[in-house]
């Protein structure tokens, strides 16, 4: 597989370093392309995180998620089995089917391609502003509290996403 290169500043309509950095589920993220910029076709979110950060099991009614790994490794869970992907590879998690992912190396840097667009608003809603730079220190992952899971479920419901269980990883 060919190596994935970073998006250029002209691809996102400006310098990615000028975009807000959010802490979302102990992962740093910034939305590089929004649905308004792609006619609703897709969105791209750039993310960085430490070992263990990830998502609970969930199902998207509309969106597929494709994770393109730039550095480190991710583990994706889909239909009862998990797959590890490393830098230069990707994993596709389709809409309508239960899935989850986590960081499977000391740290990882990756793009999330969301198709169709719309779900990127979730990051703005639940992400907390991060004071540091995107390429600096990262949050230390911790298990989300029952209250945090409740907030996620409340925000995700109107977006057509249902949390179906805890993370499926050991």
Contacts of 65 (CB under 8 A, 6+ apart): 92, 93, 99, 101, 112, 113, 114
CATH for 63: 2.60.120.10
Mean of pLDDT values over 86-109:
95
Residue 12, domain member (yes or no): no
Residue 44, domain member (yes or no): yes
Residue 49, domain member (yes or no): yes
Residue 138, domain member (yes or no): no
The domain in which residue 98 lies consists of 18-133+143-165
What is the bridge-based pairing of β-strands 81-86 and 73-78? antiparallel
Q: What is the pLDDT of residues 29-46, one digit of tens each?
A: 999 999 999 999 999 999
Q: Are 168 and 82 in contact (CB under 8 A)?
A: yes
- For the chain, the domain total comes to 1
The pLDDT score that the predictor gives to residue 150 is 86
The pLDDT score that the predictor gives to residue 14 is 67
Residue 8, domain member (yes or no): no
Mean of pLDDT values over 38-55:
96
Residue 112, domain member (yes or no): yes
Residue 40, domain member (yes or no): yes
The pLDDT score that the predictor gives to residue 135 is 94
- Radius of gyration (Cα) for the chain, nearest Å? 15
**Residue-wise DSSP of 80-113:** TEEEEEETT-EEEE-TTS-EEEEE-SSEEEEEEE
Q: pLDDT over 90 for what percent of the chain?
A: 75
Q: Answer yes or no: is pLDDT of 20 > 80.
A: yes
Q: What is the pLDDT of residues 100-143, one digit of tens each?
A: 999 999 999 999 999 999 999 999 999 999 999 999 999 999 88
Residue 2, domain member (yes or no): no
Taking the alpha carbons at both ends of the chain, their separation in whole angstroms is: 29
Mean of pLDDT values over 7-12:
47
């Amino acid at each position: 597989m060919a190596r994935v290169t970073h998006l250029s500043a002209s691809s996102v309509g400006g310098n990615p370093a000028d975009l807000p950095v959010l802490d979302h589920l102990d992962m740093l993220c910034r939305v590089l392309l929004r649905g308004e910029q792609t006619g609703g076709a897709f969105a791209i979110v750039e993310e960085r995180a430490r070992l263990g950060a990830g998502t609970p099991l969930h199902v998207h009614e509309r969106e597929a998620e494709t994770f393109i790994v730039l550095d480190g490794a991710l583990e994706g869970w889909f239909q009862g089995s998990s797959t590890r992907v490393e830098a230069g590879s990707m994993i596709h998690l389709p809409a309508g089917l239960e899935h989850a992912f986590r960081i499977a190396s000391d740290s990882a840097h990756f793009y999330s391609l969301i198709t169709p667009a719309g779900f990127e608003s979730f990051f703005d809603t639940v992400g907390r502003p991060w004071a540091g730079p995107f390429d600096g220190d990262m949050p230390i992952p911790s298990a989300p509290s029952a209250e945090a899971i409740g907030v996620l479920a409340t925000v995700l419901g109107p977006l057509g996403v249902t949390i179906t269980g805890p993370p499926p990883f050991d």
